[in-house]
Amino acid sequence: MKRHLPLALLVLTAIGVQQLTHATGTAFYLTPLTMAAYYSLVIVGLCLLMGYAGQISLGHAGFFAIGGYLSAMLTTRDLTPYQDNPVLVLLDKLGCTVTGQDMFGGAVLHVHPWAAFACAILITIAVAYGIGIPVLKLKGHYLAMATLGFGIIVYRLVLASPLFGEADGISEVPAFPLFPGLAVSGGFESRVSNYYLAWGMVACAMWLLANLIHSRVGRALRAIHGAEDATNAMGVNTARYKLNTFVISAVLAAVAGIFLTHYNGGIGPSEAGIMKSVRYVAIVAIGGMANLWGALVMGSLLNIMSLRGMFGSYDDAVFGLILIVIMLFAPRGLLGLSLPQGLKRLLKRGE
């Protein structure tokens, strides 16, 4: 019962906020709120990986970008020149394509967003396993370095590849019709439905993750964090647990990337940047590492502030600074903070 209380609170808050914006005529807030929800999805996934399984990743913006970019590319690229390609014919038969019109009224052929979604997720899973199997053998700084390397590769790839629009990114990404009556799009008229969709997904993710953490699996994960060999000696397949957690968090990041890209109607290389990964890590740290709800609260707040431009052009600097300050004063997160203790620590250090 105790476990469902925060979830109920989340749902009520989401509804309350929407009602508030409606009542005060500030519905424009719903846009950053929706975007923040998707970023929160990345953050809670990363929180599972970092806080519970104890594996750091400085490459999660990479997974976000893989999802977003693949979906954007597949749903915007005109496939008419390849119409006779047998693969495309098959896709067509399976109903995985859509025809549309370009700016000049010419007929164009795209991959259907659902097919693009499936493709992007499958590739994310493949990449996550491919990266995870060798990399998760590493620990601490080495793991951080390796995932950082992965993040840099993704960033440079999208920046260099014409397929992904180089420095401009991909725009004109169409809406994603999830099912009749609900599409992921940034359109004015679907602002409320998209707000609820995004936060509904966050609630689902929280429900799943909270259950996972309180299960036998979650207990094993927390143990891995403490003493890996000892956990292994308890009969826990630690390698597989770490890997699967890594993949789950990668998929959450990719899903967030896909949805946010369709919501925004585009994606640019900054989404793949290292500073994005650092930001996710910083937020998980502020939330208190092994604290899903802390990560969610902090993630929503900071992302909304950032999206509203409150940090101005010092956006990235702010998150870097936050990371340093948290590590110094409140390694257990802002919510677990007791200020006198933090000061004492610092004074001791100075001695």
Binding site for another protein (CB under 8 A): 216, 219-220, 222-223, 225-227, 229-238, 290
CA distance 243 to 231: 15
Please give the Cα distance from 72 to 184 (Å, whole number): 13
Choose between 225 and 345: whose C-beta lies nearer to another protein.
Answer: 225
The torsion angle over the Cα atoms of residues 128, 134, 136 and 141, rounded to 10 degrees, is: -110
Question: Which lies closer to another protein via its Cβ, residue 189 or residue 229?
Answer: 229
Shortest gap between Cβ of 2 and another protein (angstroms)? 15
Rounded to the nearest whole angstrom, what is the least distance from the CB of residue 229 to another protein in the complex? 6
**Residue closer to another protein, measured from CB, 229 or 351:** 229
Residue 228's Cβ-count burial label (10 Å; 0-12, 13-18, 19+) is: middle
Output the CA–CA distances (angstroms, integers) from residue 349 to 323, 337, 341, in the order listed: 18, 18, 12
Q: How far is the CB of 224 from another protein (least distance, A)?
A: 9
Minimum distance, C-beta of residue 174 to another protein, in the bound complex (Å): 47
- Is residue 347 helix, strand or coil? helix
Q: Quick one: 8 or 233, whose CB is closer to another protein?
A: 233
CA distances from 14 to 36, 196, 202, 205, 220 (A): 12, 8, 10, 15, 32
Closer Cβ to another protein, 213 or 272, answer by number? 213
Q: What is the smallest separation between the CB atom of 225 and another protein, expressed in angstroms?
A: 7
Whichever of 65 and 289 has its CB closer to another protein, that residue is 289
Beta bridge partners of 107: 101
Minimum separation from the CB atom of position 287 to another protein (A): 16
Q: How far apart, in whole angstroms, are the C-alpha atoms of residue 217 and residue 241?
A: 8
Shortest separation between residue 325's beta carbon and another protein, angstroms: 23
Q: Give the C-alpha separation, 255 to 60, whole Å.
A: 12
Helix-then-strand count for the chain, H and E: 14, 6
According to DSSP, the residues that pair with 98 across neighbouring strands are 110
Please tell me what DSSP assigns to residue 342: H
- Whole-angstrom CA distances from 81 to 77, 96, 97, 100, 243 are 11, 17, 14, 14, 40
**Residue closer to another protein, measured from CB, 72 or 221:** 221
